[in-house]
Structure 1
Amino acid sequence: MHALISRLADAFAMLGGVILAAIVLVTTTNTGAFILDRIVAPLGRDVAGLPGYEDFVKLAISGAALMFFPYCQASRGHVAVDLFVSNAPQRVRWALDRAWLLLTAAVALFLAWWMGQGLLEAKGDAAEAGVLGWPIWPFYIPGIASLVLWALTCLSQMIGDHNYA
């Protein structure tokens, strides 16, 4: 089960990377249009930026940012402070590691629950992006799924026999 969750965390990070690459591509295109507009404006020409650029970036980054958390947890990439526990007995380190994993899983599930509430509210209000007119609620789904996967990653690490030193 731990291997499946780790592979899923990898897939989420890859998808998050693809979304970030799309954001960079759209941003570069939009910036290029603005630069080109300044160059050709004295010639009486006009080059418009991408309509809805801000909407797209705001909606895309909202899910992509959270998609890296499960991978970071799976690779134990989070900051750990071992200054006070590095010389503690192995059982103490094991217990502290499990307690922090449980707390992190609880926080991730708490945030997922609140994002779920936000999704329901955005859907109920029929909230839309200002320029593009896209419904906002579907963009909550990757973030909620990422938070749930983050919690599952923590729980699988609690059950598994992983490094904690």
Structure 2
Amino acid sequence: MANATSTSFERLERACHVLAGALVAFGGLCLLVACALTMLSIAGSLTIRPLPGEIELVEVLCGLAVFAFLPYCQLKRGHVGVDLVISAFGPKAMNVTQVIGDVLIALLLGLVTWRHFVGTMDKFGNGETTALLLIPVWWGYAVALALLFANLIICLFVVAADIRDIRNRRTIVASLGAH
């Protein structure tokens, strides 16, 4: 619960953690459904016949799971970091490289989000459907686009948290193995 003394930044931080946690749950659910569909299709192929279109659904669900897990990874600073040389220069150098890396990730994710939006509009406009189930392809693209927007929000929050930590003369805490 947010109390009267919590700052807006702390409320934003809690909201980002809740969002990332909800997306992880969504991604996990996508993977569970994909596993169940695969299991049912295998069982069906051994008895009667496999589920038609199961591969199409599993492809979309696994792709959505990847997009759903990215915000949590960014929030926990779980992306790969190599600091063999930088760590010798101390915490200030580590902070600078961390904020540069987080800004680069945010910029690249912004580029990916923009291009994915263009692709979503293209799929929506051309009416492409999946081969067996005839599901409009743009649906999966639209859900992935929403996940990318959520990831972009998390990335921007992480950059703001980096700047806040540097201003308050704190070392930016990265996940184990990242630095």
- With normalisation by structure 1, the TM-score equals 0.87
Distance in 1 between residues matched to 2:90 and 2:160, nearest whole Å: 20
Q: Please name the residue that 1:104 is paired with.
A: 105
The alignment status of 1:163 with 2:164, answered yes or no, reads no
Q: Please name the residue that 2:8 is paired with.
A: none
One-letter amino acid of the structure 2 residue matched with residue 163 of structure 1 = V
Q: Please name the residue that 1:125 is paired with.
A: 126
Structure exhibiting the larger radius of gyration computed from Cα positions:
1
Q: Please name the residue that 1:68 is paired with.
A: 69
Which runs of 4 or more aligned residues in structure 1 lie more than 4 Å from their structure 2 counterparts after TM superposition?
Answer: none
| Stretches of structure 1 lacking an aligned partner (at least 5 in a row) | 37-46
* SS at structure 1 position matched to 2:86: coil
- With normalisation by structure 2, the TM-score equals 0.80
Q: Please name the residue that 2:25 is paired with.
A: 14
More contact order relative to length (CA 8 Å, sep ≥ 6): 1
Distance in 2 between residues matched to 1:147 and 1:115, nearest whole Å: 9
| 8 Å contact kept, 2:87–2:93 | no
| 8 Å contact kept, 2:53–2:133 | yes
Per mean C-alpha deviation after superposition, the further-off stretch among 18-27 and 94-103 is 94-103
Q: Please name the residue that 1:43 is paired with.
A: none
* SS at structure 2 position matched to 1:124: helix
The alignment status of 1:2 with 2:3, answered yes or no, reads no
Q: Please name the residue that 2:169 is paired with.
A: none
Distance in 2 between residues matched to 1:149 and 1:29, nearest whole Å: 32
| Stretches of structure 2 lacking an aligned partner (at least 5 in a row) | 1-11, 166-171
The alignment status of 1:83 with 2:84, answered yes or no, reads yes
The alignment status of 1:30 with 2:41, answered yes or no, reads yes
Distance in 2 between residues matched to 1:158 and 1:118, nearest whole Å: 27
